[in-house]
Structure 1
Amino acid sequence: MKKTIVIVDDHLLIAKALEGIIDNFKDFKVIYVAENGKDLIDKFKENNEIPDIILMDISMPIMDGFESVLWLKKNHPKIKVMALSMQGDDNSVIKMIKNGAKGYLLKNTHPKDLEEALIRLKDDGFFYPEWAEKIIFSNINNDKSNEKAVRISDREKEFLTYTVTELSYKEIAEKMCCSPRTVESYRDQLCEKLDLKTRVGLAVFALKNGFAES
């Protein structure tokens, strides 16, 4: 079954062009378009289908991407939001991610790269290109995690070394000679121990604490 997508962008021509591109992807389909966050909320209230993924522009009138993704985080946390914007500055990237976005792409991204990013978002729960990861790793503050005295097993340490790679959880399981369910258990245990919520957070922790090379 195809994953459903909603595009939130005040530029209708761009949104419709993007819709046409995505509808040619094997695993995804666009179910509707919203002009801004307020329009999206209204469509939800009108009993429109709740999507699996939202592609969110940042600069929009009435209710911009920052405010919209924060609202989604509080009201529809299961929806995966991918920021899709012309803005690639540090402040925009960090603010969108802190507000709840699980991915970030620029609008000049090639359609093939967009499809790959959506697949990664679907399978791994997040996707950040290399340029965005560098911003995240240099700006997200995990001092709270560093202050916690926790016991991390050797297998959990091994898992941490893979969090900074582009390997999927299935591929990590193959590397560690265990089942994907076991890898998910390592992830969940570490997130609980370190008070983290995402693989990005685990990767930052791994880099800052010497479990992986930067």
Structure 2
Amino acid sequence: MKKTIVLVDDHTLIAKALEGIIDHFADFEVIYCAENGQDLIDKFAVNRRIPEIILLDISMPVMDGFETALWLTENHPEIKVMALSMQDDDQSVIRMIKNGAKGYLLKNSHPKDLENALSELVKEGFYYPDWASKIIFSNAKGQTKSIKGTKISEREKEFLSYAATELSYKEIAIEMGCSPRTVESYRDALCEKFDLKTRVGLAIFAIKNGFAET
């Protein structure tokens, strides 16, 4: 069954073009479009289908992408939000991620890159291209969680060395010679110890504390 997508973009021609592109993907389908965040909320209210993924523009009238991402995080955390924008500045990337976006892609990306990004978003729960990852890591400077007085086991340190890689949790388990459930227990323990919420947060923590390399 195809993963359902809603496009939120105030440029109708762009939204329709994207819809046509995505509907040729084997595993994804666009079920409807919205012109801005408020239009999306209104459509949810009249029992439109709740999608699994939302591709969200940033610059929109009435309710922009930043506000919309935050609203979705607070009201529909099960939806995976990916920013799809022309804005590639540090502030926009960091703010969208802080507001709950699990991915970021530029509108001038090739259709195959979009399909790959959507697949990674479903598989891993997040997708950030290299340029966006560099912004995330560089802006994490000064935001490192303190590890003083908090015990980290050798196996947790080993897990952190893989956290900033592209390996899935299943692949990390193979590298560590343990079960995926054990890897998840390392992840959950570290997230609880250092108040981390996402794999991106884990990756930043690992790099800034010297457990992983950039």
1:68 corresponds to: 68
Alignment of 1:4-83 (within 5 A): 4-83=4-83
CA distance, structure 1, for counterparts of residue 142 and residue 180 of structure 2? 27
2:138 corresponds to: 138
Relative to 1, partners in 2 of residues 1:142 and 1:191: Cα closer, same or farther, differing over 3 Å? farther
Alignment of 1:1-214 (within 5 A): 1-140=1-140, 143=143, 145-146=145-146, 149-214=149-214
Q: Deviations over 1:119-146 (max 9, x none)?
A: 1111111111110011101113674622
Relative to 1, partners in 2 of residues 1:53 and 1:200: Cα closer, same or farther, differing over 3 Å? same
Q: Deviations over 1:71-111 (max 9, x none)?
A: 11111111110000000000110111111111100001111
The answer (yes or no) to whether the contact 2:144–2:205 under 8 Å persists in 1 is no
Relative to 1, partners in 2 of residues 1:147 and 1:186: Cα closer, same or farther, differing over 3 Å? closer
CA distance, structure 2, for counterparts of residue 74 and residue 190 of structure 1? 23
CA distance, structure 2, for counterparts of residue 58 and residue 127 of structure 1? 17
Give 1:55 deviation, angstroms. 0.3
CA distance, structure 2, for counterparts of residue 156 and residue 164 of structure 1? 14
Equivalent residue of 2:81, what SS? strand
The answer (yes or no) to whether the contact 1:8–1:55 under 8 Å persists in 2 is yes
The answer (yes or no) to whether the contact 2:144–2:209 under 8 Å persists in 1 is no
Equivalent residue of 2:87, what SS? coil
The alignment yields a C-alpha RMSD, in angstroms, of: 1.4
Equivalent residue of 1:82, what SS? strand
**TM-score, length of structure 1 as denominator length:** 0.95
Equivalent residue of 2:31, what SS? strand
Extract unaligned runs of 5+ from structure 1.
none
Q: Deviations over 1:44-76 (max 9, x none)?
A: 001011111100000011110011101111111
Equivalent residue of 1:146, what SS? coil
Count of residues in Structure 1 that have an aligned counterpart in Structure 2: 214
The answer (yes or no) to whether the contact 2:156–2:190 under 8 Å persists in 1 is yes
Deviating runs (4+, > 6 A) in structure 1? none
The answer (yes or no) to whether the contact 2:105–2:128 under 8 Å persists in 1 is yes
**TM-score, length of structure 2 as denominator length:** 0.95
CA distance, structure 2, for counterparts of residue 148 and residue 122 of structure 1? 35
Extract unaligned runs of 5+ from structure 2.
none
CA distance, structure 1, for counterparts of residue 119 and residue 155 of structure 2? 27
